[in-house]
């Protein structure tokens, strides 16, 4: 009994704050719906039915959750080191570009080419994240600004490629590349749905990141985040650790791009990332950077997106309500962090 009570006492402080943040977001969102003349209970009921009303919709939630989980895991690595990686979209995009280029231009058997595209995606994201890490470690450049600017550069590079050198000649002028080979695509897990093996990959990544924090490198990254002075005193090469942190974080985002391309689209498309990187930040923050919490958080936001699309189509309630709820969650999560630090400083 005591051990059960002890586990509950440890779990509640971790679970309650995110739940309260989500609940407050829905309450404020409901008040806004009332002001706009909608019935919030009907809207939220439609949102729920839209997300969980059929097997296909649940599968869509998992499809959207897969890249979100992988992206949020990468972002959590940077955030734990107090490096604010806002560049998930750019790293996602460059990883996708590298992997598709390899898939379309390297003549190897599929059994060798498939893992090579995966490694290329990691390399692309790692390269893009490493640029920001190097700028921070060498010149103390603000990583929020550099990663944000690199996002825009990645978007323009993608736009140039799908309308130029990598454009599908048989694509009737659409900004897209040729399809990657069928043998390179991730398998569909449930027939007549889009659910692919990316969700299994995402869960494997969660396990790997859980054990990553128990490694020497994971300890160094976390220690740098807690105190740069202590890390230096312990003999850790802080600049090198910063670069490695962004390389790993960016590489994870690149894998998320590979997951999206080789699981859903099978080609590069303009504006491929579609804001996944920014949403992954919310996912990671709501989960308090915990790998298991990231699964739950990503599932929640994916359900919001799937349910929100149905709610707009069936009830005429703007999809922007979902964006409002996401924004409110961010506000309440950040407010909780600031309040906790304020109380700690006063104590």
If one counts the domains in the chain, the total is 1
The distance in angstroms from the start CA to the end CA of the chain is 33
Which pLDDT score is estimated for 14? 65
Is residue 37 one of the residues assigned to a domain?
no
Helix (H, G, I), strand (E, B) or coil at 180: coil
- Alpha carbons 206 and 256: distance in angstroms, whole number: 13
Residue 1 has pLDDT above 50, yes or no: no
CA neighbor of 158 nearest in space, from 82, 100, 223: 100
Provide, rounded to the nearest whole percent, the portion of the chain with pLDDT above 90.
72
- Looking at per-residue pLDDT, the higher value among 310 and 305 belongs to 305
Q: Rounded CA gap, 347 and 343, in Å?
A: 6
The pLDDT confidence band at residue 181, using thresholds 50, 70 and 90, is very high
In angstroms, the CA 138 to CA 141 distance is 8
Q: Does the residue 329 lie in any domain?
A: no
Q: What is the pLDDT of residue 12?
A: 62
Instruction: Answer yes or no: is 98 within a domain.
Output: yes
Surface-to-core class of residue 138, CB atoms within 10 Å of its CB (0-12 exposed, 13-18 middle, 19+ buried):
exposed
pLDDT given for residue 11 in this prediction = 58
**pLDDT per residue over 87-143, tens digit each?**
999 999 999 999 999 999 998 999 999 999 999 999 999 999 999 999 999 999 999
Average pLDDT for 228-248: 95
Higher pLDDT among residues 171 and 280, named by residue: 280
With respect to residue 96, please indicate whether it lies within any of the assigned structural domains.
Answer: yes
Instruction: Say what the pLDDT of residue 345 is.
Output: 65
User: What range defines the domain where residue 91 resides?
Assistant: 66-280
Confidence of residue 251 (pLDDT cuts 50, 70, 90): very high
Buried/exposed code over 3-32 (b: 16+ C-beta within 10 A; e: otherwise): eeeeeeeeeeeeeebbeebbebbeebbbee
Residue 164 lies in a domain: yes
Q: Look at residue 88 and tell me if it is in a domain.
A: yes
Give the span between the Cα atoms of 249 and 334, in whole angstroms: 22
How far apart CA 14 and CA 290 sit, in angstroms, is: 10
Q: What is the pLDDT of residue 316?
A: 78
Q: What is the pLDDT of residue 243?
A: 97
Q: What is the CA radius of gyration of the chain?
A: 21
Predicted model pTM: 0.93
The per-residue pLDDT of the chain, averaged, comes to 91
Q: How confident is the model at residue 326 (pLDDT cuts 50, 70, 90)?
A: confident
Q: Within a domain: residue 285?
A: no
d(C-alpha 125, C-alpha 127), whole Å: 5
pLDDT of residue 347: 59
**Looking at the domain assignment, is residue 216 inside a domain?**
yes
**273 pLDDT tier (thresholds 50, 70, 90):** confident
Tokens of 132: 């920001």
pLDDT in tens, 284-309: 998 999 999 999 999 999 999 999 88
């Amino acid at each position: 009994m005591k051990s059960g009570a002890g586990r509950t006492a440890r779990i509640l402080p971790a679970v309650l704050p995110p739940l309260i943040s989500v609940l407050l977001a829905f309450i404020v969102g409901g008040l806004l719906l009332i002001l706009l003349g909608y019935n919030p209970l009907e809207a939220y009921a439609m949102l729920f039915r839209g997300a969980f009303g059929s097997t296909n919709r649940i599968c869509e939630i998992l499809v959207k959750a897969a890249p979100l989980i992988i992206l949020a895991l990468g972002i959590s690595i940077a955030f734990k080191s107090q490096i604010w990686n806002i560049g998930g979209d750019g790293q996602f995009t460059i990883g996708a570009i590298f992997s598709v280029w390899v898939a379309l231009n390297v003549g190897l058997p599929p059994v060798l080419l498939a893992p090579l595209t995966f490694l290329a995606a990691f390399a692309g994201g790692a390269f893009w994240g490493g640029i920001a890490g190097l700028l921070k470690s060498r010149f103390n450049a603000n990583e929020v600004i550099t990663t944000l600017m690199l996002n825009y550069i990645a978007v323009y590079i993608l736009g140039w490629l799908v309308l130029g050198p990598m454009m599908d000649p048989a694509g009737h002028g659409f900004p897209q590349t040729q399809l990657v080979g069928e043998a390179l695509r991730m398998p569909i897990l449930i027939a007549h749905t889009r659910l692919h093996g990316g969700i299994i990959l995402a869960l494997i990544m969660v396990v790997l990141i859980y054990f990553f924090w128990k490694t020497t490198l994971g300890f160094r990254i976390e220690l740098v985040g807690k105190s740069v002075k202590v890390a230096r005193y312990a003999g850790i090469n802080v600049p090198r650790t910063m670069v490695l942190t962004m390389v790993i974080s960016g590489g994870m985002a690149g894998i998320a791009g590979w997951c999206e391309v080789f699981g859903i689209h099978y080609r590069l498309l303009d504006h491929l990332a579609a804001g996944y990187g920014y949403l992954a930040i919310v996912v990671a923050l709501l989960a308090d950077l915990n790998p298991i919490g990231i699964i739950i958080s990503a599932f929640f936001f994916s359900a919001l997106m799937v349910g929100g699309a149905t709610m707009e189509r069936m009830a005429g309630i703007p999809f922007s309500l979902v964006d409002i709820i996401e924004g409110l969650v961010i506000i309440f999560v950040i407010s909780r962090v600031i309040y906790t630090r304020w109380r700690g400083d006063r104590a």
